[in-house]
Amino acid sequence: MPPRIDFATFDRRATQSTRRRLQSLSAADLGRPSGCTGWDIRALLSHLVGGNLRFAQALRGEPADWPTRDVERVTSPLGEFDESAGQMTAAVAGIDDPKRPTLLQAGEPPAYFAVGVHAADMLVHGWDLAVATGQDATLDPELCAAAIQVVEKYPPSFWGPGRFFAPRVELSADDPQKRLLGLTGRDPRQ
């Protein structure tokens, strides 16, 4: 059984992991392919910033306009990321009942699980960003184990063309990073 970390710590550490990869971005990097089909790095950053904002809204019990998640205009990647991450951190800190249903794009899980979904998304897209920009793409094994616990609970309908994830890729079950990447449709061997 992998070590368990609380949902707030998981989210904070996953966000910090991705933030480190943003620090070295230049304006020239924004038009480069991100590794996510159809997205350049600017689009990936829009997804991350929009995710921070929409998850924060949902956790505060506000309506979140999920279809507009990926249209956030990103002109100052680190600044906009930090501002949106601050909103997410405040929303997580303000959770009064971790089991309170939280309306997300794909369901209404308890708040703690919604935070885990955000953290897993943040962690995996941090890997995408690292690969796209030639940075060290190593992820913290403890965070990968926590993300696996979240992703494995998603229904089978989440995988496949036009869905949340590309089809799963069978990778080493002994390596938490490879397992997480495979579960989210990524193949680091390519």
Residue 46 CB coordination number (10 Å): 20
Residue 16 maps to a domain: yes
Residue 1 — very low, low, confident or very high, per pLDDT cuts 50/70/90?
very low
CA gap 111, 4 in Å, rounded: 17
Give me the domain span that covers residue 35: 7-140
Residue 59 maps to a domain: yes
- Please tell me the predicted confidence (pLDDT) of residue 8: 95
Residue 171 maps to a domain: no
Residue 2 maps to a domain: no
pLDDT one-digit tens code per residue, 21-60: 999 888 889 999 998 888 999 999 999 999 999 999 999 9
**Packed helices 176-183 and 141-151: angle between N→C axes, nearest 10 degrees:** 30
- Please tell me the predicted confidence (pLDDT) of residue 190: 63
pLDDT one-digit tens code per residue, 79-134: 999 999 999 999 999 999 999 999 998 889 999 999 999 999 999 999 999 999 99
- In this structure, what CATH number is given to the domain that contains residue 53? 1.20.120.450
Instruction: Specify the pTM.
Output: 0.93
Residue 162 maps to a domain: no
Residue 157 maps to a domain: no
Residue 167 maps to a domain: no
Domain count of the fold of the chain: 1
Question: Token match 């990073």: residue?
Answer: 177
Residue 173 maps to a domain: no
